[in-house]
Each structure stands twice: as structure tokens, then as C-alpha cells.
Amino acid sequence: MKFFIDTANIDEIKEANDLGILDGVTTNPSLMAKEKITGEDAILKHYKSICQIVNGPVSAEVIATDFKGMIKEGERLADLHHNIVVKVPMTTEGIKAIKYFSENKIKTNCTLIFSAGQALLAAKAGATYVSPFIGRIDDISGDGIGLIAQIRRIFDNYSFDTQILAASVRHTMHIIDCAEIGADVMTGPLKAILQLAKHPLTDSGLAQFLADYEKGNK
Ligand code: E4P
């Protein structure tokens, strides 16, 4: 399973990249606003900076909601760097745009997926990735992981090339469950990725090894 980090924060992206296990980055307009990246020029510059850090796909979301606007914006984003993946919302206009982009060799990430039907439609349009938001589904007492499993079965039934990008990941169990089910990618916060390394028995075991070494090498 590929690991993407879900942030527009340059320091976090660098820290995750330095771990050596980072495969890509996802951003969205809220994450860009959180970093106070505003205005077209600054936004495009920021995407370029991210692409210079990470050698992998970087999702950049369109703001336009109509087909023509999405195409214009998406082509501009794709021209920035070969690693840019144009993130398009799950709407009927978005589906038309994904179809256009896939016919023109521009990679896409269909975002805001909350049902298997939406994922199926995006895959049929030729999306490179679909992003089911598992955390937000769990937030309203739904079954985010169940949705990943359902989409996995559907995509396997028909051998769709579209990759399942489990998004809105909140914690380590989301990551582990996604890996068990066979999500192609997960995108989450740095904190959840780092937490995978933690175990109290690792900490106490290491402390014991070091103490024993000290005793024997006084
Ligand atoms: C996906 O690409 C989105 O940016 C993201 O995962 C949304 O996560 P959130 O529900 O934590 O905002």
C-alpha cells in the first residue's frame, strides 16, 4: 500500500519524506487555506515547491465546478509538474472532466467519494484514483472501512485500473485496516503515520537492552 501525506505544510511533507516511506501528497483547498496559501500565483508556486520535495504524485484540487472551468484549471495545474494529479470533485461535471482528462493523459483523483456508486462512476470515467473519505463517514456513524472493502470488490470484479486512495484517514487502525483490505493508497496526517512505529514493548525492550549493555561495558 502506498503512503501519501494529507497536508500542504512544507515542514511536515519534508519530515515525512525524510522517513523514506512517502509515496505522494494530497492537498485540498482547506489544507491550503490552513497554511495561509492564498491567491492563484502563491497556490501554483506552493504546488511546485511540494513537487520539488516529493518524488511522487501530488494531488492539486480544482476550484471550478463547471466542466469548462475544471478543464482550464486542471490543464494549468497539470502543466506545473509531471507529478501533479488533478483533483476533481465527484459531481456530474466532475465526471465529464475526468473523462476528458483521462483521454488527454492527465492523471486525476476523484475526491469527496462517499458511496460505492460514486466510486464506480469515477472508475468508468477513467479516474486514476478515487478518494473515499473514511474518517468523515465514521464521523457520522457510518462504516468507512466497509466502503473501502465494497469498492475493492467492485474494482476487482471488473479489473478497473483506478486506484483506491483511502482518504480522511484519522488514526493507525484506519491505516492497518486499509492495508488488510487492499486499498492501493492511504492518505493521512503525519501523526498517524508516525504512530505506526510506536509500541510500549519496543520502548521497554530497547531500554532494557541499553541498560544491560551499560552494565556489561562499565
Ligand atoms: C483527501 O484527499 C482529503 O484531502 C482529506 O483526506 C480529507 O480529510 P479530512 O476529513 O481529515 O478533512
Cα-Cα-Cα-Cα dihedral sign, residues 76, 77, 80, 84: negative
Q: For 170-194, what is each residue's pLDDT tens digit?
A: 999 999 999 999 999 999 999 999 9
Question: Measured in angstroms, how far is the CA atom of residue 29 from the centroid of ligand 1?
Answer: 10
The residue whose CA is least distant from atom 6 of ligand 1 is 168
| Helix/strand/coil for 209 | helix
Please identify, by atom number, the ligand 1 atom nearest to the C-alpha of residue 167: 6
Q: For 46-87, what is each residue's pLDDT tens digit?
A: 999 999 999 999 999 999 999 999 999 999 999 999 999 999
- Gap between the Cα atoms of 126 and 31, Å rounded: 26
Ramachandran region, residue 39 (left: φ > 0; alpha: ψ -120 to 50; beta: rest): left
The residue whose CA is least distant from atom 9 of ligand 1 is 168
* Predicted confidence band of residue 161 (pLDDT cuts 50, 70, 90): very high
Domain boundaries, the chain: 2-217
CATH of domain 2-217: 3.20.20.70
- Gap between the Cα atoms of 185 and 193, Å rounded: 13
pLDDT for 44 equals 97
Please identify, by atom number, the ligand 1 atom nearest to the C-alpha of residue 189: 11
Of 125, 186, 185, 116, nearest to 157 by C-alpha is 116
Q: For 116-159, what is each residue's pLDDT tens digit?
A: 999 999 999 999 999 999 999 999 999 999 999 999 999 999 99
The residue whose CA is least distant from atom 8 of ligand 1 is 168
Q: Which three cell numbers stand for residue 143?
A: 462504516
- In the chain, the amino acid numbered 181 is I
- Gap between the Cα atoms of 207 and 201, Å rounded: 10
Collect all residues with Cβ–Cβ distance below 8 Å to 156 and sequence separation of at least 6.
none
pLDDT for 102 equals 98
Q: Which three cell numbers stand for residue 44?
A: 501554483
Question: Measured in angstroms, how far is the CA atom of residue 167 from the centroid of ligand 1?
Answer: 6
pLDDT for 210 equals 98
Using alpha carbons only, how large is the chain's radius of gyration in Å? Answer: 19
Contacts 24+ apart (CB under 8 A), 35-38: 35/8, 35/9, 35/10, 37/8
pLDDT for 199 equals 98
Residue pair 73/33 in contact (Cβ under 8 Å)? The answer is: no
Question: Measured in angstroms, how far is the CA atom of residue 148 from the centroid of ligand 1?
Answer: 15
Question: Measured in angstroms, how far is the CA atom of residue 9 from the centroid of ligand 1?
Answer: 14
Ramachandran region, residue 119 (left: φ > 0; alpha: ψ -120 to 50; beta: rest): alpha
Q: Mean pLDDT for the chain?
A: 98
Kindly list the catalytic residues: 87
Residue pair 192/179 in contact (Cβ under 8 Å)? The answer is: no
The residue whose CA is least distant from atom 7 of ligand 1 is 168
Please identify, by atom number, the ligand 1 atom nearest to the C-alpha of residue 136: 10
Please identify, by atom number, the ligand 1 atom nearest to the C-alpha of residue 30: 12
**Ligand 1 lining (C-beta closer than 6 Å):** 6, 26, 28, 111, 131, 133, 135-136, 167-168, 187
pLDDT for 218 equals 85
